[in-house]
Amino acid sequence: MATRPPLELPCWGRLREHHAAVVRRHLRELFTEDPQRARDLTFEAAGWRVDLSKHRITRDTIQLLVQLAEQCGLAARREAMFRGERINTTEFRPVLHIALRLPRSRSLIVGDQDVVPQVHQVLDRMADFATRVRLGAWKGFTGKRIRNIVNIGIGGSDLGPAMVYEALQFHADQNLRVRYVSNVDGSDLTLALRDLDPAATLFVVCSKTFTTLETMTNARSAREWLISQLGSESAIARHFVAVSTNQAAVREFGIAPENMFVFWDWVGGRYSVDSAIGLSVMIAIGPDAFREFLAGFHAMDEHFRSAPLQRNVPVLLGLLAVWYVNFFGCQTWAVVPYEHCLRRLPSYLQQLVMESNGKSVTLQGEAVSYATAPVVWGEPGTNGQHSFFQLLHQGTVLVPCDFIGFCEAQTPLQHHHDLLIANMLAQAEALAFGRTAEEVAARGVTAGLVPHRTFQGNRPSTILMAPKLTPRSLGALIALYEHAVFTQGVIWNINSFDQWGVELGKELADRIAPELGTNEEVQHDASTTQWILYYRERRARDGRAGKPPARAN
Ligand code: G6Q
C-alpha cells in the first residue's frame, strides 16, 4: 500500500523530466522513428485488442509508469482486493465484484465463509426465475404472460443494467419489452408505463439499500398504479420482485422473500451489474448468455491479476490516465463507441470513473496535492463527429479519446459497418497525425484559409476492438475499465470504492422536500430560501398544493 503521496515517489520526478521531453515530440516523428511502434504498443486481453501506439508515449514512458505502479504497491493492493481484504477503508468492507464472476469450481473465503457458493446460489435462483418469465411459466395476477419488464433503480442500480440491456439488444428476447426507470421526475415513470398493460408487466425494484429516495418513490407509485389497474393488493406478489441487500425493507415494502434476490455489501453499486442487479438483463438475454457475460468479466479479471504490468491492459489504461491527467494536465477524457448499441456506455463509464476516483482526500484522510479523476464524457461515433469532434481536432484543450469498435456487424448491413469502422479509424488517424499547413497549401487551399484548415494532430487516442459485441466481450470490456479505475485509485492513493460526495445533496433534498409543501419558516442561505418561497408560492397559486412530499426514508 502506498504510504507516501505519489508525488514523493522517486519515479514521479523522473516522469516529470521524461514528460518535458515527450511533450515536445509529435506522434508523426514517433511513428517515423520507430517502425515497430504500432505492433509493439498493441496489446491483447480477454478477446480485446488494444492499440496504445497513438498515445504520446514512448517505450520509456511505459517503463516509468510501470515503475510508478510498482512503487505505489499496485500488485499488493490488487492482491488485497482479490483476497477479499477490507480495502474499502471508509466503509470497512471488502471490494469483491470479482467474486461475482468466479466460476462455480472456485472458492473465495471471506471471514469464515466461502462466498462463491452464495454467488452461484443467487445466480441459480435468478436463472430459474428468468427462465420461467421467458417461457411464460411465470404468469401475472390475471394469468397473463409477462411481456414487459420495468427495472426501477438509480445510479449503480440502473446505469449498469440499462447500458448492458441496450448493448445486448440483438441478444435479447424480442417478445419482451424492457424499460428502465430511474429519475424521481414523474415523467420517467409515466412515460415508461403509459402504453403498458399492467397485467403483463413485471417490476424489478433494484436498490442495494432499499431506501433511495428516487427508487422508493418510483416503486411506490408503480405499486399504486398496479393495484389501481388490477384492483387488488394481492397482485403485487406476481408483479414485483426486488434486488437488494436489505431484506427487512423489501419485506416491509410488501415483496415476499421468495421474490427477492440478494447481493452483498461487498458489491459497490457501480460494480453491481454482474450481481442480481443484472436480473432484468438476464431475463432479456437468458441465463446462458448472462453466464457468458460473467465469463467475459472473469477472463479480464484473470488477465488483470496475472499479466505482467507492462503488458497488463487495464493497468496500462489506468496509468495512461495518470500520465495525461497529472503530467499533461488533461481534465477530461472522451469515450466514443463506434457501435450504436453501446450508446449508454459513456454515461456508465462516467459513473464508474467519476464516482470512484473523483476524490480529493487520500486513504489517510489528507488533502491530495495532485489532480485525480478526469471528467468522462462521450457519445457514439459517428454522431459525435458532427458535433464535438471539431474541438477534439482543433480546440485548445487536449482530450484523450477511447474509440471502441467491433470487427463484425450486428446486422446484415455490412456496408454500414464498413463505413462505421472506416470513420473510427479515420478519426484516430486524423487526431494523431493531423494535416500540416504545407500539406494544406499543397492541396491548393487559398493562403487565407490555410490556418483554418490545418490540423495540428498529436492528439492521443486508444483503439479498442473485439471481434463482435457479445455478452462475453461486453463483460470483458466492463472489467477492463473497472480495473483501469482501480489502478488509477491506487496511484492516486484514494479510496475508489466509497462515494461520500453524494451524501450532502441527498441530505439537503430530504430536508427541503417537506418544506416545499408547508408554510413553515425555512432556514437556508438567502438564495435557497428565495427559491423555496418562490416555488411554494407558484405551487399554491397554481393549485398544486397537494400532499407534501414524503421524506426519503
Ligand atoms: C454506486 C453508488 C450509487 C448507488 C445509487 C443507488 O456505486 O453507490 O450510484 O448505486 O445511489 O443506490 P441503491 O442501490 O442503494 O438504491
Q: What is the pLDDT of residues 67-96, one digit of tens each?
A: 999 999 999 999 999 999 999 999 999 999
Residue 17 CA to ligand 1 centre (angstroms): 41
Residue 524 CA to ligand 1 centre (angstroms): 27
Q: What is the pLDDT of residue 542?
A: 80
pLDDT tens profile 112-171: 899 999 999 999 999 999 999 999 999 999 999 999 999 999 999 999 999 999 999 999
Q: What is the pLDDT of residue 551?
A: 45
Residue 345 CA to ligand 1 centre (angstroms): 17
Q: What is the pLDDT of residue 552?
A: 41
Q: What is the pLDDT of residue 346?
A: 98
Cα dihedral across residues 163, 164, 167, 170: positive or negative:
negative
Q: What is the pLDDT of residue 4?
A: 72
The closest alpha carbon to 311, from 545, 43, 7, 504, belongs to 43
- 3-state SS class at 532: helix
Q: What is the DSSP string of 139-200?
A: B-TTSPBP-EEEEE--GGGTHHHHHHHHHTGGGS-TT-EEEEE--SSHHHHHHHHTT--GGG
Residue 335 has pLDDT above 80, yes or no: yes
Catalytic pick from 386, 416, 468, 503?
386
Atom 5, ligand 1: which residue's CA is nearest?
Answer: 155
Which protein residues are within 6 Å of ligand 1, measured from CB? 154-157, 207-209, 212, 215, 268-270, 355, 499
pLDDT tens profile 341-370: 999 999 999 999 999 999 999 999 999 999
Testing ligand 1's pocket by substitution, the residue of 93, 157, 244, 245 carrying the most ligand atoms inside 8 A of its CB is 157
Is 386 an annotated catalytic residue?
Answer: yes
- Amino acid at site 512: I
pLDDT tens profile 211-229: 999 999 999 999 999 999 9
Residue 206 has pLDDT above 50, yes or no: yes
Residue 297 has pLDDT above 90, yes or no: yes
Cα dihedral across residues 82, 88, 94, 98: positive or negative:
negative
Strand residue runs (E) in 99-147: 109-110, 113-114
DSSP designation for 217: H
Atom of ligand 1 nearest to the CA of 155: 9
pLDDT tens profile 381-430: 999 999 999 999 999 999 999 999 999 999 999 999 999 999 999 999 99
Atom 11, ligand 1: which residue's CA is nearest?
Answer: 155
Residues 6+ positions from 165 with CB-CB distance below 8 Å: 172, 178, 180, 280, 281, 284
Q: Give the mean model confidence (pLDDT) for residues 519-543.
A: 93
pTM: 0.97
Residue 211 CA to ligand 1 centre (angstroms): 10
pLDDT band (50, 70, 90) for residue 553 = very low
Residue 507 has pLDDT above 60, yes or no: yes
Catalytic pick from 224, 252, 416, 506?
506
What residues form DSSP beta bridges with 104? none
Atom 1, ligand 1: which residue's CA is nearest?
Answer: 269
Q: Give the mean model confidence (pLDDT) for residues 375-385.
A: 96
Is 208 an annotated catalytic residue?
Answer: no
Residue 478 has pLDDT above 80, yes or no: yes
Residue 457 has pLDDT above 90, yes or no: yes
Atom 8, ligand 1: which residue's CA is nearest?
Answer: 269
Residue 157 CA to ligand 1 centre (angstroms): 6
pLDDT band (50, 70, 90) for residue 111 = confident
Residue 198 CA to ligand 1 centre (angstroms): 27
pLDDT band (50, 70, 90) for residue 546 = low
Residue 242 has pLDDT above 60, yes or no: yes
Residue 548 has pLDDT above 60, yes or no: no
Atom 2, ligand 1: which residue's CA is nearest?
Answer: 269
Half-sphere exposure of 425 (CA within 13 A, CB side): 9
Average pLDDT, the chain: 96
Q: In what order do the strands lie in the sheet with 401-406?
A: 42-45, 48-51, 461-466, 401-406, 332-337, 375-377
Measured CA angle at 499 (ends 100, 318), to 5 deg: 65
pLDDT band (50, 70, 90) for residue 543 = confident
Catalytic pick from 214, 292, 355, 515?
355
